[in-house]
Amino acid sequence: MQNTELKKLLESLSLEEKICQLLQVCGYYYEMEGVVTGPQNTAGFNEKEIANAGSVLGIAGAKRLKEIQKKYMAAQQHHIPLLFMADVINGYKTIFPIPLAQGCSFNPDMVKKAAGISAKESAAAGLHLTFSPMVDVVRDPRWGRVMESTGEDTYVNCVFAKAMVEGYQGTNGLNKKGKIAACVKHFAGYGAPMAGRDYNTVELSERTLRENYLPPYRAAIESGCSTAMTSFNTLDRIPSTANKKLMRDILRSEMGFDGVLISDWAAIEELINHGVAKAQIDAAKLAIEAGVDIDMMTTCYCRNLKKLIEDKIIDKALLDEAVFRVLQLKNSLGLFENPFKDADEEDEMAFVLCDEHRKFARKLASETMVLLKNEEILPLPKKGKKIAFIGPHTSHRWILGAWSIFGEEKDAVSLEQAIKEMEIENASFAAGCPILTSTENLEMAESSRTAIAEDNKNAKALLDEALLKAKEADIVVLSLGEHPSQSGEASSRVDLQLDAQQIELFNQIYNVNQNIAVVLFNGRPLILGEIFDKAKAVLEAWLPGTEGGNAVADILFGNENPSGKLTMSFPRHIGQIPIYYNEFKTGRPYHGDGGKYFSKYIDCPNSPLLPFGYGLSYTSFEISEVSLSRNSMTCQESIFASVRVKNTGKIAGKEVIQCYISDKVGSVARPVRELKAFQKIKLQPGEEKEVVFEITEKMLRFYTIDMEYKSEPGEFDVWIGNSSLTQNGQTFNLV
Ligand code: GLC
């Protein structure tokens, strides 16, 4: 529909019809089904509100959504189509690794392809929009939603924000088949809650907010992201959903976002809890004035905007601009021409979990895994050795992640299943211990809760069986980690160690067999302690999705050479958090060489156990010294920094060559270094390749003492290597 016709449609709507377009209810109200991903709001919508709500979230299925759409459009005067939205975060039915893992792939092309598959499957199931990508920068693994982010680094999050938006939306229009609208979230700064406690206060200086936290949202918007979501938190004590400066000045004016802004679940009504609104009507006023278009799951808008307009407390123009954006979104999806878009039962049947998607999910999962330690025990031999696969993640399928709301464990491949299908000789299997001692405070399927309770009841027998098999084996592969319910929304933790029974299992096995390769299945960096020291190998598998078991087996047996790198630092101790690589020098930087009056702990090194950008391979790479095309540049010039990388091992492998820059003196303190670019390259044994990075003036910009975003002349170091610890550098000047 042309914009002129859309304008006419807007003008033809009654005040009530307009207001209902800004209401979003969850599928629960349509079919007493659908996923509830928030506090089941006591909104108590009435039949009229549900029948006229402009969008619905959390329900999918071609047949079901076509029926709802048909009924919905027939019931209202202007036959405006309903928008179907849902959290397709790491896959629809074919579940990919959690986003934190996807970031560790350092492979945006593969992540873009995964988003494309997610869009294709969910569009066939009738969905129009996904509440993804979540691009919140996270420096605190206590926060459960770290699993949903691509980690602690601003630049990495920008790269993957772009990849996911382009994967979901394509670049030729949302109305194209197999494409869905993306929604960048949570604007803004949600990943920095105090004490790592979800929904808690966020205190960031404007400089830190703008330099470290805002760029990924901007990257999503510059990639054409069609919608955005407000965050639950306050910034400078102003809840985002009521923050005019954040939403109208920064998001819309500075970043040029002109799409639909949707509140997070009940976030408008929660302005009352924040204490900035006395009642619903005040909350509705604040939110509409801040430019929030859709009210997710409260009656603030639908029961108060009419009065606010009739009493001339707010201008009708605010309502019209919001409704017009919603109509434009529906129009860009082509819903006025075809309200069912891609919903098609046959396509749905053909696409979801098809072999092609499974094969890719398996490839991507292995690409995300990070080899953290390997004392020549991996890859494992496929025959000739007795290998015991032990641990709570060996046979269970708890590998999809907290946001795999449409994925099903029954479709997932466990490690045990994968090993059996690989016909590995002399493999034995044992659970060894329950994954958790208690499931209290955790939300999970009753089947999981029952299985965990059963394992706890049989804990001694599980341990005895495991020790027997460990004694008989040459090698033990010990699969440990978290249950998916331990990470995700509203799942912050104060203790990041493995469950006590898992630690006990490791220690007991270590007493009878020290050839242990640990595989971690977790949604966040954990405190690994002695396990890391004692294990001969540690593979970080994250929560690897539907094909996770096959992908782990591919890595363990060398079908795939691990190439992932950490996008989150692993602390040695929880007391170090927040810990991240691009910290500041301080006035008393400590370099580990003793002395008292330095910025350090008296009971722990400053450094993380495992740093950002770190990950091993089954082969080895040599990286030459950095050479520069010149040693100084003006703002109009650039410098080419290059290294030669050689695969000095016996098998092919991929390496992530990372380019960091440090600004040695600035008008404000500057980070010790910042990632500015990376290239993931594949080299055959003996193969050598030159990797070149162009250093531009734009890369050197920051918020100066006057809060101007620009570069300052001076001396810089450029470091090029395979982790944030690289000391392989050269100096250059910006003149
Ligand atoms: C949740 C989450 C948000 C999600 C929304 C809809 O509370 O914060 O990320 O997209 O509700 O499920």
Sign of the alpha-carbon dihedral angle for 481, 146, 197, 604 = positive
Would the pLDDT of 47 be above 70? yes
Q: What order do you get walking across the sheet with 55-57 strand by strand?
A: 129-130, 83-86, 55-57, 23-26, 295-296
Nearest atom in ligand 1 to the alpha carbon of residue 183 is 10
The answer to whether the beta carbons of residues 142 and 496 sit under 8 Å apart is yes
At residue 34 the predicted structure's pLDDT band, cuts being 50, 70 and 90, is low
Torsion angle (degrees, nearest 10) of CA 709, 192, 184, 542: 120
Say what the pLDDT of residue 135 is: 98
Instruction: Answer whether residue 600 shows pLDDT above 60.
Output: yes
> Per the structure block, which two tokens stand in for 254?
């500075």
pLDDT band of residue 50 (cuts 50, 70, 90) is confident
- pLDDT score for 314: 98
Query: pLDDT band at residue 27, thresholds of 50, 70 and 90?
Result: confident
What's the mean pLDDT in 359-381? 98
C-alpha to C-alpha distances, 436 to 499, 516, 538, 571, nearest whole angstrom: 6, 21, 20, 22
Residue position matching structure tokens 């329900």:
59
Question: 264 CB less than 6 Å from ligand 1?
Answer: yes
Q: Is 295 in the pocket of ligand 1 (CB under 6 A)?
A: no
Contact residues for 547 (Cβ-Cβ < 8 A; gap 6+): 358, 359, 361, 362, 365, 412, 413
Both tokens of 658, joined, read 């990372």
Q: Which residues are catalytic?
A: 264
CA of 132 to the centre of ligand 1 (A): 10
Closest by CA position to 564, among listed 723, 676, 721: 723
Q: Whose CA is nearest to atom 11 of ligand 1?
A: 265
| Number of the ligand 1 atom closest to the C-alpha atom of 232 | 8
Sheet holding 387-390, edge to edge: 370-374, 537-540, 516-521, 475-481, 387-390, 427-430
CA-85 nearest atom, ligand 1 = 6
The percentage of residues in the chain with a pLDDT greater than 90, rounded to a whole number, is 95
Substitution candidate for ligand 1 out of 145, 229, 262, 263 with most atoms within 8 A of CB = 229
Q: Are 402 and 485 a contacting pair, CB within 8 Å?
A: yes
**How confident is the prediction for the chain on average, in pLDDT?**
97
Across 7-24, average pLDDT = 97
Instruction: Identify the residue whose tokens are 């609208």.
Output: 181
Helices and strands (H, E) in the chain, number of each type: 23, 27
Q: Which atom of ligand 1 is nearest to the CA of 132?
A: 10
| Pick from 307, 323, 331, 322: nearest CA to 10 | 323
Q: C-alpha 183: how far from its chain's center?
A: 13
> With bands split at pLDDT 50, 70 and 90, how would you rate the model's confidence at 597?
very high
Q: 49: helix, coil or strand?
A: helix
Determine the residue of 186, 403, 489 to mutate for testing ligand 1's pocket, defined as the one with the most ligand atoms within 8 A of the Cβ atom. Answer: 489
Q: Whose CA is nearest to atom 3 of ligand 1?
A: 264
Identify the band that residue 32 occupies on the pLDDT scale cut at 50, 70 and 90. Answer: low
Amino acid at 643: V
Residue whose C-alpha is closest to residue 119's, from 11, 226, 246: 226
- In angstroms, the CA 496 to CA 502 distance is 13
> Where residue 44 falls among pLDDT bands split at 50, 70, 90?
confident
Could you read off the pLDDT of 495-552 as tens digits, one per residue? 999 999 999 999 999 999 999 999 999 999 999 999 999 999 999 999 999 999 999 9
Q: Which of 449, 527, 446 is nearest to 481 (CA)?
A: 527
Q: Is the CB of 131 under 6 A from ligand 1?
A: yes
pLDDT per residue as tens digits for the range 258-268: 999 999 999 99
For tokens 């229009």, the residue is 173
- DSSP classification of residue 562: -
Kindly report, residue by residue over 630-671, the tens digit of the pLDDT.
999 999 999 999 999 999 999 999 999 999 999 999 999 999
Closest residue (by CA) to atom 8 of ligand 1?
264
Residue 598 has pLDDT above 60, yes or no: yes
- Determine if ligand 1 sits within 6 Å of the CB of residue 265: yes
pLDDT tens across 515-527, in order?
999 999 999 999 9
Q: Per residue in 208-246, pLDDT tens?
A: 999 999 999 999 999 999 999 999 999 999 999 999 999
The answer, as to whether pTM is greater than 0.95, is yes
User: Does the beta carbon of 185 sit less than 6 angstroms from any atom of ligand 1?
Assistant: yes
Kindly tell me if the per-residue pLDDT of 36 is higher than 80: no
Q: Residue 733: phi, psi to the nearest 5?
A: -120, 140
145 lines ligand 1 (CB under 6 A): no
Does residue 574 register a pLDDT over 70? yes
Report CA 312 to chain centroid distance, whole Å: 42
Q: Which residues contact 496 (CB under 8 A, 6 or more apart)?
A: 141, 142, 524, 525, 526, 527, 571, 574
Quote the ligand 1 centre to 123 CA distance (angstroms): 19
* Both structure tokens of 79: 């036959």
> So what's the pLDDT on residue 29?
74
Place of tokens 């029926």: 67
C-beta of 489 in contact with ligand 1 (< 6 A): yes
